[in-house]
Amino acid sequence: MMPRLIQPNWPAPSNVKALSTTRQGGVSHVPYAGLNLGLHVQADSQVVWRNR
């Protein structure tokens, strides 16, 4: 199974943080199925907050 969160491992100042997500997991419904984190689309905002 693919990880849901990917944390980069590169040299950077300690105040620089990065995180990348995949679409694996989450509770969104079609057409935003998966780990939808965007409130800018027409998805149910309560579902998006559950994903976050």
Instruction: Tell me whether residue 32 is in a domain.
Output: yes
Range of the domain at 52: 20-52
Instruction: Tell me whether residue 34 is in a domain.
Output: yes
Instruction: Tell me whether residue 15 is in a domain.
Output: no
20 touches 8 (CB < 8 A): yes
Q: What is the pLDDT of residue 2?
A: 62
pTM here is 0.61
Instruction: Tell me whether residue 38 is in a domain.
Output: yes
Instruction: Tell me whether residue 2 is in a domain.
Output: no
Helix, strand, coil abundance in the chain, percent, nearest 5: 15, 10, 75
Comparison of pLDDT for 1 and 17, the residue scoring more: 17
Name the domain count of the chain.
Answer: 1
Q: What is the pLDDT of residue 34?
A: 87
Buried b (16+ CB within 10 A) or exposed e, 34-44: bbbeeeeeebe
